[in-house]
Each structure stands twice: as structure tokens, then as C-alpha cells.
Amino acid sequence: MAYQSESLIAQARETREASGVSQRALSERAGLTQSHISQIESGKMEPGLSSFIDMTRALDLEVMLVPKKLAPAVSGLVKAQSTPDMHIHTGQPNDKRFGRAERLVKKMKRVYGSSADLDRLEETIRFLRRVRLSDQEMQLIRELIARLEHHKVSAQAAPFIRDIAQNLERLRNSLAHAAPSEPRPAYSLDDEDADA
């Protein structure tokens, strides 16, 4: 690769491979052709910005502009928050369920058109895919995905989709807003600030 974006493309490819996501699966998620992704990753083509953003978002990454002098601090924060299981469901049996659910929602959007409920459902599935889930939470998700598959061909699917989206959102919200294991102080004073 002789492009300016070489290191970014390499990082995206490494994330895809570490996640166990094939180029084909990434192409379905990102809305790009597998050939396009292959050419980008092999260095035969430099991606356009929108294609690169689509690729990275499909890998649950976000492209951001950071002031150069803050880049080391941002890198430190990312490393501090990273865990070995960052891609918890990827390459595991649950990943297939989430992948199937994502494909199903996309298919329903093509057949019925986009709706707020389908958009919320897609976003929630993407979030839950990245989170460590208990067996009980995963069981709930399995049941909801099975209901979604059952009602996918029904013209009267809208109320079922809304109910499934609401249930998944409740689960997402309970995970996202769970109380931390130990309380954190709202603020603290350094020894130097004792006079303040």
C-alpha cells in the first residue's frame, strides 16, 4: 500500500480479522461489495471517506478528528478502556444470531421500507452485539429474535416489531445504565487543593 490511509486500513483489517468477521459479512453490514473491501484491504484501491466510514462503523469503530496534541491522551484512554473481550460475541455462536437478526432487519427494511421501529431495532442489536451478556439476557434475546423471524413475513408485523424493539431497548438501557459496582465520588480534592 502506498496510500496515506495505509495505517488506518491496516487497523480496520486487523479489527475485522480479530473479530472473526469475513469480508463477505463485512460487505453485508457495510453495504459495500466484497470485491471493494478486498481491494481496499489489499492496497489496490484507496477508499473514499464515506466507504471507509461505512466499513469502520460496521466493525463498531468510530472515526474521529482529534487535535494532534491530544492524540496521546485519547490513545491512553482507549487502551485503558479496552479489554481482551472487546469483541465478546464475534466468532462465537451468539454472533451468528446477531448477524442473522441484523440481516433480517435489513431485509424487512427492503420489503416494508424503513421505519422508526426497524431503525431502533437495528441500532439496539448493534449495541447488544458488543456487550457482555448473561445467559439469561442472551436467552431473552434469542426469544425476541425468534419472534422477529416468525413475524417477518406478516403484513401485520408492525406491532410485533414495535414490541420486540421496546423489549430489546429495555435490555440495552438496563445494561447501559447499570449502577457501577462501587460508588465513585462526584469530585475529589488533591492535596494541593486543601486550602481551596
pTM: 0.44
- Would the pLDDT of 89 be above 50? no
Q: What is the pLDDT of residue 157?
A: 75
Of 142, 147, 143, the closest CA to residue 160 belongs to 147
Burial of 78 (0-12, 13-18, 19+ CB in 10 A): exposed
Confidence of residue 88 (pLDDT cuts 50, 70, 90): very low
Residues 6+ apart with CB under 8 A from 99: 25
- Residue 178: pLDDT band with limits 50, 70, 90: low
Mean residue pLDDT of the chain comes to: 78
What is the C-alpha separation between 8 and 12, in angstroms, rounded? 6
When pLDDT is averaged across residues 50-59 and rounded to a whole number, the result is 90
Digit-coded pLDDT (tens) for 71-80: 888 777 776 6
Task: Give the Cα separation of 60 and 6 in Å (integer).
Answer: 19
Look up residue 41 and give its three cell numbers: 484491504
Q: Which residue has the cell 480496520?
A: 12
Average pLDDT of the segment spanning 100-117: 83
Residue 169 pLDDT greater than 80, yes or no: yes
What mean pLDDT comes out for the span 135-163?
Answer: 80
> Among candidates 88, 93, 100, 94, which has minimal Cα distance to 60?
88
Domains of the chain: 6-62 (1.10.260.40), 93-176 (no CATH)
117-123: which pairs have CB atoms within 8 A and are 24 or more residues apart? 117/158, 117/161, 117/162, 117/165, 118/161, 118/165, 120/165, 120/169, 121/148, 121/161, 121/164, 121/165, 121/168
Q: 180: pLDDT confidence band, cut at 50, 70 and 90? A: low
The pLDDT, as a whole number, for residue 145 is 83
CA 158 – CA 118 distance, rounded (Å): 9
Kindly indicate the confidence band of residue 35, based on its pLDDT and cuts at 50, 70 and 90.
Answer: very high
- Count Cβ atoms within 10 A of the Cβ of residue 77 and give its class: 0-12 exposed, 13-18 middle, 19 or more buried: exposed
Q: What pLDDT is recorded for position 82?
A: 60
Q: What residue type is 18 in one-letter code?
A: A
pLDDT recorded at residue 87: 42
pLDDT value at 91 more than 50: no
- If one compares 147 and 91, the residue with the highest pLDDT of the two is 147
Q: Could you tell me if 112 and 157 are in contact, meaning their C-beta atoms sit under 8 angstroms apart?
A: yes
